């Protein structure tokens, strides 16, 4: 009986699924924008001072240079460092293959922009956002360090 009804109304179902496929991402994007609006900053001057900035990996090219997204993330952390908003930078990313190393590329990029190597900590096992956050908290003791601020 249900199968028969579905077959008779397949055009309606197609329209409903299509509309849901369009509305769902828009609604989720709006929800994230609203929920995170107080935690986003458009200018480095507005960012509160913290002891550590965490930079998540976002891909490197085959020649070892950061992808545009990764370069943007590292540049933002460098700007925060230079403005005194952070004292250290934790760079976490993928280094699972001999020819793929996000964190070294990130470090090289930041050092070229003026951050001393001594103020950069590398986490070579940040294979996912969850693992990076877990390691930052449990291994790098980031939560304890951030509570000192």
Specify the pLDDT at position 149: 33
DSSP structure string for 35-102: HHGGG--SSGGGSPP-SEEEEE---B-TTSPBPHHHHHHHHHHHHHHHTTS-SEEEEE-B--BTTB-H
pTM of the predicted protein model: 0.71
Q: Is 84 left (phi over 0), alpha (psi -120 to 50) or beta?
A: left
Residue with tokens 């003026």: 114
CATH fold group of domain 44-147: Rossmann fold (3.40.50)
Domain ranges of the chain: 2-39, 44-147
Q: What is the pLDDT, as a whole number, of residue 141?
A: 67
61 φ/ψ angles, rounded to the nearest 5 degrees: -75, 170
Task: State residue 133's pLDDT score.
Answer: 84
What is residue 119's DSSP assignment?
A: G
**Splitting the chain (149 residues) into consecutive groups of 10 residues, what average pLDDT does each group show?**
81 88 92 82 84 91 91 94 93 85 93 95 86 80 49
């Amino acid at each position: 009986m249900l199968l028969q009804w579905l077959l008779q109304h397949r055009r309606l179902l197609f329209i409903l699924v299509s509309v849901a496929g369009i509305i769902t991402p828009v609604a989720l994007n709006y929800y994230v924008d609203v929920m995170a609006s107080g935690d986003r900053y458009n200018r480095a001057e507005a960012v509160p001072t913290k002891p550590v900035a965490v930079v998540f990996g976002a891909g490197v090219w085959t020649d070892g240079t950061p992808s545009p997204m990764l370069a943007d993330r590292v540049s933002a952390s460098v700007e925060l460092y230079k403005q005194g908003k952070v004292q250290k930078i934790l760079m976490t990313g993928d280094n699972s293959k001999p020819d793929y190393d996000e964190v070294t590329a990130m470090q090289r990029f930041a050092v070229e922009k003026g951050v001393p190597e001594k103020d950069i900590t590398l986490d070579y096992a940040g294979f996912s956002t969850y693992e990076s956050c877990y390691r930052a908290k449990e291994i790098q003791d980031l939560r304890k360090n951030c509570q000192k601020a």
